[in-house]
C-alpha cells in the first residue's frame, strides 16, 4: 500500500473484504471497529508493563484475525484463531497464584492493571455488540473468555506489583 489514505471512505462508506460497499454505520462495521478499539486498549495496557505480556501480544493478533472474519460477510465465524481452551488454561495458571475472590472488586490498582480493566470493559461492549449482530456462539464465547482473561490478568498484575484487590463496599440503605 503506497498511501495510507484511499479517499474511498470520504462519503461514509467502506469496503468489506469481499469488495461489497456498506455504510460505515453498519452494525458489522461498528463491531469490527470495536474489536480494533479493544486491540488498541490491549496495546496501551501492555505498554505499561515492564515487559510485555506475551499472551496479550498473541491476543492482539487473534483480534486482527477476528476483525478479518467479521469484515468478510462470506467467512465462517469459527476457526483456530478463537482458541478458548488456551485462554482458559492461561486464566487457570494465573488464578492458582491469586487469593480466592470472596467479594466483587473494584476495577483499580496499579496503572497497568487499571488499563487491563478498561480493556476488559471494552471487551464486554464488543461482546454485547457481537450478540446484537448475531455472531456465532464461538465468537461470543471467545470474547467472553477474553474478558475473563483480562479480569484475571488485572488481578495478577496488581499482585505482581504488591497491590491488593479493593473490595466493593455496598452502600447501606440505612443512611
* Model pLDDT for residues 62-74, shown as the tens digit of each residue: 999 999 989 987 7
User: Residue 34: which of 119, 137, 138 has the closest Cα?
Assistant: 119
User: Within 13 Å of residue 15, how many CA atoms lie on the same side as its CB?
Assistant: 6
Quick one: CA dihedral 57, 64, 27, 40, positive or negative?
positive
- Say whether pLDDT at 6 is over 70: yes
Mean pLDDT in residue range 75-85:
71
* Whole-prediction pTM: 0.90
Q: Contact 37/137 with Cβ under 8 angstroms?
A: no
Q: Tens of pLDDT along 105-124?
A: 999 999 999 999 999 999 99
Distance (Å, rounded) from C-alpha 4 to C-alpha 134? 32
Residues 6+ apart with CB under 8 A from 113: 153, 154, 155, 157, 158, 161, 163
Amino acid at each position: 500500500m503506497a498511501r495510507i489514505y484511499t479517499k474511498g471512505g470520504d462519503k461514509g462508506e467502506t469496503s468489506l473484504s469481499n469488495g461489497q460497499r456498506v455504510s460505515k454505520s453498519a452494525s458489522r462495521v461498528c463491531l469490527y471497529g470495536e474489536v480494533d478499539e479493544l486491540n488498541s486498549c490491549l496495546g496501551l495496557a501492555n505498554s505499561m508493563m515492564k515487559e510485555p505480556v506475551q499472551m496479550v501480544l498473541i491476543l492482539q493478533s487473534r483480534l486482527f484475525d477476528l476483525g478479518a472474519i467479521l469484515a468478510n460477510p462470506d467467512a465462517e465465524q469459527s476457526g483456530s484463531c478463537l482458541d478458548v481452551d488456551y485462554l482458559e488454561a492461561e486464566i487457570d495458571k494465573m488464578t492458582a497464584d491469586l487469593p480466592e475472590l470472596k467479594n466483587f472488586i473494584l476495577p483499580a490498582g496499579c496503572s497497568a492493571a487499571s488499563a487491563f480493566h478498561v480493556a476488559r470493559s471494552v471487551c464486554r461492549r464488543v461482546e454485547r455488540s457481537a450478540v446484537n449482530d448475531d455472531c456465532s456462539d464461538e465468537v461470543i464465547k471467545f470474547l467472553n473468555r477474553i474478558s475473563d482473561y483480562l479480569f484475571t490478568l488485572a488481578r495478577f498484575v496488581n499482585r505482581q506489583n504488591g497491590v491488593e484487590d479493593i473490595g466493593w463496599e455496598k452502600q447501606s440503605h440505612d443512611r
